Amino acid sequence: MKKNITAHGLSFEPFISEAEINTRVEALSSQIRQQYEGKQPLFIVVLNGAFVFAADLIRACDIACEVTFVRLASYEGTASTGKVATVLGLDFDVKNRHLIVVEDIVDSGRTLYHFMGELKKKEPASISLVALLLKPDALQFSVKIDYLGFEIPNKFVVGYGLDYNGLCRNLPSIYQLKDR
């Protein structure tokens, strides 16, 4: 059993293991493969948090595809700030393309609610959303997740791409904030 970790003075305990993550990533990627084989989808990876998940997922999919990145910032510390800013925009013509948005976690849903709305205006052939994690109890905006890794309680998590003020993205598994 892995030990607790600390970041910026907060304590986190092991929550989802590497093996559990791998199993879910394999399952999601095989669903995506079945759905998108021959369609040459464009994966749109939401930076920064989704970079680890996306790297594993997209390689496991094993289909002809393209990959691009956007950066939408709405988060500071351990609570959503309520603002959504496009820091790094879309550099692809997405009209008539099959789009798969890849996100690490849907919390309030604010970031994706706005972003998916913007994407739909660009007349893609289809859009789907894959998210590793969802906190159903935190959801305030209606966001449809087509491929979901895990539903988790409304507690802050880090690791596997997810950070706490910049730290912990490189942890291979997911940790949850300990109750104090």
What is the contact surface with ligand IMP in residues (CB under 6 A)? Answer: 49, 74-75, 80, 103-111, 156-158, 162
H or E stretch covering 117: helix 110-120
Q: Are 25 and 174 in contact (CB under 8 A)?
A: no
CB of 42 to Mg ion, least distance (A): 18
Q: Could you tell me which residues are beta bridge partners of residue 7?
A: 10
* Residue 107 bears catalytic tag: yes
CB of 38 to ligand IMP, least distance (A): 30
Residue 49 touches Mg ion, criterion: CB under 5 A? yes
Residue 57 site contact among Mg ion, ligand IMP, none (CB < 5 to 8 Å, cut-off depends on kind): none
Residue 101 site contact among ligand IMP, Mg ion, none (CB < 5 to 8 Å, cut-off depends on kind): none
Residue 159 touches Mg ion, criterion: CB under 5 A? no
CA dist 164 → 44, 68, 156 (Å): 23, 24, 9
Tell which one of 104, 109, 159, 168 touches Mg ion (CB under 5 A). Answer: 104
Beta strands 126-134 and 98-106, pairing class: parallel
Beta strands 5-7 and 10-16, pairing class: antiparallel
H or E stretch covering 131: strand 126-134
- Whole-angstrom Cα distance, residue 169 to residue 175? 11
Q: Are 166 and 9 in contact (CB under 8 A)?
A: no
User: With respect to Mg ion, which residue has the nearer C-beta, 40 or 81?
Assistant: 81
Window contacting Mg ion (CB under 5 A); options: 14-22, 97-105, 148-156, 170-178: 97-105
51 phi-psi bin (left φ>0, alpha ψ -120 to 50, beta other): alpha
User: Which member of 62, 93, 107, 163 is catalytic?
Assistant: 107
User: With respect to ligand IMP, which residue has the nearer C-beta, 98 or 110?
Assistant: 110
User: With respect to ligand IMP, which residue has the nearer C-beta, 51 or 63?
Assistant: 51
Binding site for Mg ion (CB under 5 A): 46, 49, 104
Active site residues: 107
